[in-house]
Chain A
Amino acid sequence: MRQTMPVRLGAAEDTLIAQLKSVGADATAERITVAGLPTRRVESYHYTDLKTLLRAIPPLAQAANEASAPALRVPGAYQLMIANGVIQSASTAPAGVIVGKAAGGVLTTRDDVLVHLNGAFAKESLTLTLESSVDPVIQIDRRSEGEAAHVADSLKVFVADGASAVILETFSGSNAAHVGNHATYMALGKNAVVTHITVDLSPRAAAHFASNEYHIGEGAKLRTLVIHAGAGLSRTQLFPRYEGAGAHGDITGLNLVVDGQHADITMDASHAVPHTSSQPLFKSVARGRGKAVVQGKLVVARDAQKTDAKFMHQGLMLSDEAEILSKPELEIYADDVVCGHGSTCGKLDEDSMFYLTSRGIPKEQAETMLVRGFIEELVDPIEDEALAEALHGIVDGWLLGK
């Protein structure tokens, strides 16, 4: 028998183990006891060493009795709220939407600590069945309220064949050192068209974790946009799986970090069948000593011929101390595919700055215009005007240091 050295556990791990045992998740508790939180030696956490970054876990969330102001309002949107993991009652759903609840978490098991933890702690999940095309934007407002809390929640969305929808998830709450662990499972039927936007607007003191699993059927089109613009530590994991011919994903994301923030978008995509395509495009803008990470893995199965997938990460450094890290990974088992990856990283273009300022535009405003221009490619495809405007508002707010 091989002896393994037990890892030294920190305060965060001790709390997690106790919390896991308290909800009867002994297997997950055992995993943490043996392995601890992932360090940089774990490949998928190489740039986001949770053992170092996550020092404390607050108590498990209790039902909230008050809610802070909404972090993002989109006029005309249909709103649903989950506060401290508890699904709140909602107004009448728009045509084509069936709202329900199910027990437990939603993610398919995989070898990932955040996925395990969500599965262990999410008590109930909000389910949405979209039977046809839904007009209003559907907003799921996920809150962490009150004293610092460890919040887990989950959402499951079924999109019927031929249906279309725009789904916005916002993450916010009271100003406390919350740890949020959120999960979304989304299945797109044949030819469904979905835009899924997730925006982290948590307070700086919080840690925000989200794992989004997508199953994209034949001819279905998914556009995602992850925006990290809140928590001090954030990581969104994207697991798109292209499961039918013609399935396509425009998987996009944006890290906005300032001094002391760490934001990570990690995609692990699976092209499982022939004739699917994806265009993952991520951008990071970093100020001060901010740190932004984008990891993108494309796995192409043996018989997934004619896969067309290109991963791209573009970074913009607004200071010399900022750090922007990229890790593309291709794992290709088919032989007739077009796959690639690229990344660029630079500062604001000096000639562009001079051009704008030479017209009388003050330096700060010119910077804002150029950063907005850098990001525009991600917001531009969002067709709903009120939503696009709200997203521009977030970017502008970040730029102006709000």
Chain B
Amino acid sequence: MTTPILEIRNLHARIEEREILKGVNLTIPAGQVHAIMGRNGSGKSTLSYVLAGKEDYEITEGEILLNGENILEMDPAERAVAGIFLAFQYPIEIPGVATMTFLKAAMNAQRKARGESELSTPDFMRAVKEAGAQLNIDSDMLKRPLNVGFSGGEKKRAEILQMALLKPALCVLDETDSGLDIDALQVVSKGVNALRDANRSMLVITHYQRLLNHIVPDVVHVFSDGRIVESGDKDLALQLEAKGYADFDATAA
């Protein structure tokens, strides 16, 4: 059996004495797209932050294996280099840091950490231009400070642009569809689908089945009160859309 890209075993995490993740088990084989759906506050973003290595959380139990390697001791930058990418639910605005400067710094930092040479400016510009064109990102937007003054939809597209440039092994998309208009949803989904690859896995967090018509998942998980309580194929999302989460709360209890 080949090693899955992501394997989470009995993961428990707390913040400020409050346990949010209560025994998450999740395996995503290479090439697969898994979706997570669940109530507000059930811990989906927490899971994504814990994967990316945000410091505020205390892991009290369990393991996260990326390509078979435990990443819990790694800091966020090391995890990024190892192949984790989180498309934020709420991308951060950073005044004073130019978007292009940031993109170049991120790409080169990862290359450097892997022992590759730095990108030349023309190569970098070309890569950004190509990836940007696919996502209908105009170059004026990239001249602004990072995420500053970007509309909600622009911020989400910028996240996917970063993902396309950084080519991670594991893409975690936290409500990338929220704030997108119908056309933008198409564009972003197309961008994400273009990144589907036999060596890449994706974890797509969403509240709406509609996104999953565009990004068709291999597996859908229902998240409730800090753990996965049900898993199924893409029809599970339809079922949830029709009936809500009530049935699954019962099984969780």
Contact = CB atoms under 8 A, between A and B. Distances in A.
A361 B95 contact: no
B97 A357 contact: no
Interface in A357-401: 357-363, 365-366, 369-370, 372-377
Contacts of B91: 355
Q: For the side of the interface on B, what is the size category?
A: 20 to 34
A361 B54 contact: no
B99 to A, nearest CB: 12
A363 B77 contact: yes
B52 A358 contact: yes
B102 A356 contact: yes
A356 B54 contact: no
Contact of B75 (A357, A373, A375, A377): A357
A370 B109 CA distance: 16
B92 A360 contact: no
Contacts of B124: none
B106 A376 contact: no
Contacts of B55: 350, 354
A361 B92 contact: no
Contacts of B106: 356, 359-361
B36 interface: no
Given A351-B92, A370-B94, A373-B96, A358 B86 contact: yes
Given A358-B54, A359-B109, 18 more contacts: A352-B92, A354-B52, A354-B92, A355-B88, A355-B91, A355-B92, A356-B102, A357-B75, A359-B80, A359-B102, A359-B166, A360-B80, A363-B77, A369-B101, A369-B105, A370-B97, A373-B97, A373-B145
Q: List 4 A-B pairs, minimum CB-CB distance, nearest first.
A: A373-B96, A360-B80, A359-B106, A360-B110
25 contacts: A352-B92, A352-B94, A354-B55, A354-B76, A355-B94, A356-B94, A357-B53, A357-B76, A358-B76, A358-B77, A358-B80, A359-B109, A360-B81, A360-B113, A361-B77, A362-B77, A365-B105, A369-B102, A369-B105, A370-B94, A373-B95, A373-B97, A374-B96, A375-B96, A376-B96
Interface of B: 52-55, 75-77, 79-81, 85-86, 88, 91-92, 94-97, 101-102, 105-106, 109-110, 113, 145, 162, 166
Interface of A: 349-352, 354-363, 365-366, 369-370, 372-377
